[in-house]
Structure 1
Amino acid sequence: MPPPGVCMSIMQARDKNDGIGTLANPEKFNNQDFQQLKQFCLSNGYKYIDDRFPPDNSSIGEELLSPKDMCRVKWLRPAEIAKRPCFTVDGISRFDYGQGLAGNCWFLASIGALTFQTCIMEQVLHGQQSFEHDYCGIFHFKFWRFGRWVDVVIDDKLPTIDGQLIFVHSKTPNEFWPALMEKAYAKVCGSYADMNLGNPSEAMMDFTGGVYITFKLADAPPNLWNLLFRAAKCNSLMGCETPPGETPGNTVAPNGLVRGHAYTLTGIIQLMSKGRPVNLIRVYNPWGRVEWTGDWSDNSSLWQTVSPGDRKTCLSVVEDGEFWITVEDFCKHFRSVDICCLCPDFLDKNPACHWTATVHEGRWVTGTTAGGCLNFPDTFWINPQYQVKIEGLKKVCSETQGDYNILVTLMQKPDKRNRRLAKTLHIGFYIFGVPSQMKGHRGKFPKTFFKTNVPVAKTEKYIDSRTVMGLFWLNPGEYLIVPTSFNPDETASFILSIFSKVETHIHENSNDHYMEEIPKPTLKGEDIDDKQTLFRKYCDQFGEVDAEQLQRCLNVNLLQGSVKETKGFSLESCRSMVALMDTSVTGRLNSVEFLRLWSKATTYKDIFLHSDVDRSGYLSVSQLRNAIMSSGIRLTDNLLNLIALRYGGTSGIVSLGSFISLVLRMDRMAKIFRELNNGGTISLQDNEWMHITMYA
């Protein structure tokens, strides 16, 4: 059984600090260790079968095949499909494979781009894998998934019908790297069916761990061809898409382009035609057939207007799915172009100007940090906030400033294992300039800031995409970046990446203590004699109060008549309070311990009543934030999210009893840490750890 999620989050953060999840040291997907599994199979003399992605219908997924075809599927190993199977034959090329029954042209278009980058391809394919040396039916591939590199293990049983592969297949019958790579990616997506429909940028990012930039071709920058040319020189992966047709299917237009289809950019060149330069783009259809029939297509007479050398170098009159098209026709007939690279240096004309990146992981949580867009001014401020200080341009970049100096990308992480079931929110972000009087501010910017300041930049619109991005020019100064979902109270995790060619300092305000001004309640004092009288009323003959007696005391004297409390303090919460205040570890409170508890409980009650502005008898999560702060406890977004999950439940509201219990727990656990810490850390033996956690 895995550890609780909070523990796993801490472990993952530590693993990240230790370099786990990097390209050199990827995480083991599903905790499957390739080397251990392979050695086990070799030692025991049998071929590997993956129980995490088994060779059955569940791995194919729903609605991809008809029930009749699903019954015909047989999972075969490569040696049962072709003689002398090989991982690769004569290297790796975009012409090696053809698309199968899965609607994953976006994935195959991305592979086509990947085949041009040998070093990246070898990282994904793990270099030398074969069916000869130490073969036991196990393979593995590396993908970047939402901030971490993962090593994905698969068996080599592939789905077939009548002995033929039903998904991607190699044009060389005994070559199997495309089918195995597709299976590994289907595993991280959830199934083959989960690969239906997508954008090339998604797979390109998963192959590189880089950043992607999209240009909408209806509003393409005037220097698009130059950008593409420089991107090609920078070993970028590039893909593009055509607009959808009138029907969902991939229909072929009269000009030979497939509607609603993903393609790969495979070449950028300038030729001289009739004494004038022509800027051409080479495009590849992952079907391996069906090509553009317009100007500069394979049979175009325009090829007779270039030099014989250029014609011999560029023209290939073969039905292979690849063709040339002018940048003008490209912008006219395609919808968008995606560029994925490790770093967006190609954006600048000066090759010596390098961009640097910072990456931040965050989370929107209903009621605590999911404030929605600016259409919701009362909750917008609770969204995660990132403060950015931009210095002047780096000296090497100052001569050729270019059009941009900041690239911001926002990626949402899925809430489901299966890609097709993951809820995709409409996401975007705003960038605000920080006025001089607030420079150096620490902590979350309050609601009033966003009501009096307008954004200086933002995403064009909110879209339900895995990733949104924006390129901007920002003058030196301080800025605040606020990533949001469109609607408030939508829970999701995200990754915010900020690339800059200027000197930039970034601080996450989300996990500072809040700076919102919270009015403190006027607390009423109580006479010590009254407290002693109350204690004597409920204590036993030995002058002590146990959890049952404390429960009666609190429910009668603290709750009665003051709030709309229906359930009161539970016996379990009273046991917890006794444990937290019991200095003698007897399971009971003496008079001194009781008086301390009573003093804190009455104080927290007054804070609760002061924070319950609508007099509902409960605290909403936003009211809870203010109430906890009023008690003197520093609070971060992450901690508030956990508290809301633990104490708010499905209703999202907290009763007085729950509030007193949770604030007392926070107060006492902070006290334990202060007493035991040494230089900001605690070192405990296992029995000490168990003592603290089991009696609190």
Structure 2
Amino acid sequence: MNSLLNSWLDGLGMIKAKFDKVDVFRDQRYDKIRRNLSERKSVFNDVFFPPSNQSLGHQTNWVSGRVEWKRPMEINGNPRLFDDAEDTVIEGGELSSNWIVSAFSIVACVKELCYRMVPRYREQEWQPETPESYTGIFHFRFWRFGQWVEVVVDDFLPVIDGKLIYTHSQSPNEFWVSLLEKAYAKLLGSYDALEEGHVADALVDMTGGVSETIDLKSGDYETNEDLRAELFHLLSSEMADHSIMFASIPTHSQDEIGQRTEMGLVRGHAYYITAVKRIHLGESKLRRLLKGREKASMIRLRDPSGWCQPKSTQASPNRSASSNPESDGDYAYSTSQLTRLLSKNTAWAKIKEAEKNRIGLDVQHPGEFWMPVEDFVSNLAELTVVRLYNNNFFARGKRWKESALKGEWCTEDLGPFGGMSGGGNINSETFLNNPQFSFDIDAEDEEIVIQMLQWNGKEAASAASTPGHARHRTLLIGFTVIKVELNRKCRLHKLWPFYQTVITMDHQRRRELCYRGCLPKGRYLLVPTTYKPGCEGFFLIRLISQVDIKLRRLDRDVPRKVCTLSCISKQSAVWVTVICIKSAVGIAGVKYVYCSLKCGHQKVRSRIIKATKEVEWGDEFIFYRKDPERPLTIKVYSHNVVMRDKLIGWAKIPAPVNHSYAPLEVTLVGKDNVALENTIIRLKVFTEDNILAI
């Protein structure tokens, strides 16, 4: 890596704007501890994650008697945090888990991410010329549920017979991989906590990104050429945005991990997508024959098998990842050769190895290979995209804004409807007994990303303080988004037919769910759910968009003023009314119009709409009425950019209790209270005398 890039990356680690606020795990402040160690000329020993079997976790007791803890200097005489190699090759140790090896292998391909997780990495590097300055403390940064967290560790690493037993660099004197994994284990509670997980979860924790998984087997990708074209367009777009993408073949049992398919692909491994390209497959001398021929959509992947495999296949009976295939050198054909020779694309199958560079299909690493999109969807089952958004230091042109809140599913009695864990059945009476959040979309068809993550809600304790701690059970989670009244500020109590459900995320047993799409203008209610009612857990909701979108928690069942009224007023009846401004006819001579609704001291305004023969709004509003006998009023205005808005007409809206969403037409009257002939506002009105009925 050249010195210019090194300098840029070094500077990148110093940019505090990217980490406006960083939490300090266990209140262990790196600078303070290191300064004290330097003054005492001592080496760090971490009391919160000590070099003992308890830090390994209770499920590794079968090797506890064989494990020693050694500092890097005792393992290699010339330790380095990063060596000078262009690529770090990742290897698994005796106790490595497959998902961690895969995640680290992907991160190692993007040095910028490595240096981001290792802040001020040059400062942490070993200094052979001044060994007395070494303090044995390192610090790393992870993104955990809405917050960057800095974790410090000492440099003790577990070994058996002098060999590192967890994930490490193939270079014997490079230690950033082992130390980063130790910090991650400390954050999660123990090394044992790394036994099970998803590659996407680790990448989200390392980048602060948002992951989305696409099931390549659930659609018709293999038979539908249009779907494949859409998929390739997505890959090209995400590649341009420098998203992290990988594909995999999930396993259903431990025995399947590491098995090699007939195409040379390894089950359970993540194949990092490094390039996409559309090219003509054919002899350049016959270019004239290619006119009108479709280009082939090609995907370049980086093969983890053979170059990031564990050195040992021995593992605990309960460990999720153990065995890996032999390297390509142990087979008659490499993965690169098999994916070409057995391709569904006959033109690609005929291409010779020596011709690839000439036609533009070069590789930059021995583990890389090209595959047509039709083979990609046939032989791989899942595609995962990790988008970096605010943390994407490549995409300088885009500025994303984020709003996030944490929440909880609980069963304790909270308010008139009991707990906040009503389950995920939208047709159940308990569905709305879940946490509720609202947000507004102010621009038409604005792209929005919704991310929901679940976790146990507590700071990970070290295994030393909680021996035999139970692993957090991943719940079946989902969420629903409902379009509601533009002025709703309180919880929804019943899903009446006029409420439109716009997003339904099916329940999955995953740590993270993600939706990405466009929504029209309006106010929306987001309801995070567990599949079964009565489940308890914590979650984070993130909204990401290129415009300001504020996420609000809805805690109150009714407005505060209504609660006060019911306590002190002699009049016990308080009504709730929903009004939908459907449309207007007979408005002429103006360009833009809007409506103003008034109920007591409450005043709201509809959207500004271009005037046509029949103006259509569809805007809904909710009112809590302390004086049911007093009618609501509606006014229609002509909107002017320069001059003052002009009143067209107004009308009273009778809204007695009707227990249903009923249509209503009112005729506007002018300033002189004379009816405007054929000028009609069409409404829908729904009034209940039970304020908790809507």
User: Which residue number corresponds to residue 63 of structure 1?
Assistant: 59
Structure 2 counterpart of 1:233, one-letter code = A
Aligned to 1:551: none
Distance 1:488 1:116 in 2: 43
Q: Is the 8 A contact 1:345 1:351 kept in 2?
A: no
Quote the Cα distance in structure 2 between the aligned partners of 1:303 and 1:187.
Answer: 49
Determine the structure 2 residue equivalent to 1:429: 479
Indicate if the aligned counterparts of 1:281 and 1:324 stay in contact, CA closer than 8 A: yes
Retained in 2: the 8 A contact 1:272–1:306?
no
TM-score by length of 1: 0.63
* Greater percentage in helix: 1
Aligned counterparts of 2:49 and 2:476: Cα–Cα separation in 1: 31
Q: Following superposition of structure 1 onto structure 2, how do residues 322-341 of structure 1 map, counting pairs within 5 Å?
A: 322-341=368-387
**Matched residue, 1:478:** 523
Distance 2:350 2:391 in 1: 34
Kept after mapping to 2: 8 A contact 1:268/1:282: no
1:254 has 2:262 as partner:
yes
The range that moved more, 335-344 or 25-34, is 335-344
Q: Tell me how far 1:202 sits from its aligned partner.
A: 0.8
CA contact under 8 A between 2:232 and 2:297: conserved in structure 1?
no
Checking the alignment, whether the CA contact within 8 Å between 1:443 and 1:509 is kept in structure 2 is no
> 1:49-93 deviations in whole A, cap 9, x for unaligned?
1111111111112334x62x3211111111111121111111562
Contact preservation (8 Å) 1:87, 1:131: yes
- Superposed, 1:140-539 pairs within 5 Å as 140-218=139-217, 219=219, 221-222=227-228, 223-245=230-252, 247-250=254-257, 251-274=259-282, 275=290, 276-285=295-304, 287-288=308-309, 289=327, 292=335, 294-296=338-340, 302-304=350-352, 307=355, 309-310=357-358, 314-315=362-363, 318=366, 320=367, 322-343=368-389, 355-367=400-412, 368-375=419-426, 377-393=428-444, 405-415=447-457, 417=460, 421-434=471-484, 438-446=485-493, 448-449=494-495, 453=499, 455-459=501-505, 461-500=506-545, 503=547, 505-512=549-556, 514=558
Percent identity over the alignment? 27
For 2:278 and 2:354, the matched residues in 1 are separated by 11
Q: Which amino acid aligns with 1:440?
A: N
Question: Which residue does 2:659 correspond to in 1?
Answer: none
One-letter amino acid of the counterpart of residue 105, structure 2: G
Report deviation, 1:191: 1.6
Cα distance in 2, alignment partners of residues 34 and 162 from structure 1 = 31
Q: How big is the shift at 1:362?
A: 1.7
CA deviation digits over 1:15-62, x for unaligned, max 9? xxxx99972441111111111221222222222111111111111123
Aligned to 2:23: 27
- Displacement of 1:103 in angstroms is 4.5
- SS of the residue 1:270 aligns to: strand
- Structure 1, unaligned runs of 5 or more: 1-18, 394-400, 525-696
- In the TM superposition, what whole-angstrom CA distance separates every residue of 1:540-570 from its partner, at most 9, and x where no partner exists? xxxxxxxxxxxxxxxxxxxxxxxxxxxxxxx
Aligned letter for 2:81? F
What code does the residue aligned with 1:98 have?
Answer: E
The whole-number CA distance in structure 2 between the counterparts of 1:92 and 1:316 is 11
With over 3 angstroms needed to count, the CA separation of the structure-2 counterparts of 1:306 and 1:92, relative to structure 1, is closer
Give the stretch that moved more between structures: 256-265 or 450-459. 450-459
Work out whether residues 402 and 548 of structure 2, in 8 Å CA contact, stay in contact via their aligned partners in 1: no
Distance 2:139 2:92 in 1: 21
Query: What's the CA shift for 1:295?
Result: 2.5
- Determine the C-alpha separation between the residues in 2 that align with 1:169 and 1:507: 41
Conservation of the 8 A alpha-carbon contact between 1:208 and 1:341: no
1:76 equivalenced with 2:80 (yes/no): no
Q: CA deviation at 1:245?
A: 4.6
CA distance in 2, matches of 1:241, 1:80: 37
Aligned residue pair count: 483
The structure in which a higher percent of residues are strand is: 2
Residues 258/118 of structure 1: CA separation in 2 closer, same or farther (3 Å cut): closer
Aligned partner of residue 458 in structure 1, secondary structure:
strand
SS of aligned partner of 2:389:
coil
Q: Which amino acid aligns with 2:241?
A: C
Asked whether the 8 Å contact 1:124–1:141 carries over to 2, the reply is yes
* Aligned-partner Cα distance in 2 for 1:450–1:468: 27
Contact preservation (8 Å) 1:75, 1:157: yes
* Residues 170, 176 of structure 1: 8 Å contact kept: yes
Give the letter aligned to residue 44 of structure 1.
Answer: R
In the superposition, relative to structure 1, how do residues 83 and 108 fare at CA in structure 2: closer, same or farther (>3 Å)?
A: same
Against the structure 1 CA distance between its residues 22 and 412, is the aligned structure 2 distance closer, same or farther, given a 3 Å change threshold?
farther
Q: Which residue of 2 aligns with 1:88?
A: 82
Q: Structure 1 residues 497 and 406, CA, compared in 2 at 3 Å: closer, same or farther?
A: same
Aligned to 1:182, the other structure's residue is in SS state helix
CA–CA distance in 1 between the matches of 2:59 and 2:528?
Answer: 35
Provide the residue aligned with 1:124 in structure 2. 117
RMSD of aligned residue pairs (Cα, Å)? 3.5
Is residue 428–residue 468 contact of structure 1 (8 Å, CA) maintained in 2?
yes
1:619-643 Cα distance to aligned partner (Å, 9 max, x none): xxxxxxxxxxxxxxxxxxxxxxxxx
TM-score by length of 2: 0.63
Q: Secondary structure at the match of 2:302?
A: strand
What is the SS of the residue equivalent to 2:32?
Answer: helix
Q: Deviations over 1:394-439 (max 9, x none)?
A: xxxxxxx8xx8232111112246379711221111111122xxx33
Unmatched 5+ stretches in structure 2: 1-14, 222-226, 283-289, 310-326, 329-333, 413-418, 462-468, 571-694
Distance change (3 Å), C-alpha of 1:450 and 1:485 = farther
1:119 aligned counterpart, secondary structure: helix
Tell me how far apart the structure 1 counterparts of residues 210 and 364 of structure 2 sit (CA, whole Å): 32
Q: 1:522 to 1:80 in 2, by over 3 A?
A: closer
Contact 2:440/2:550 (<8 A) preserved: yes
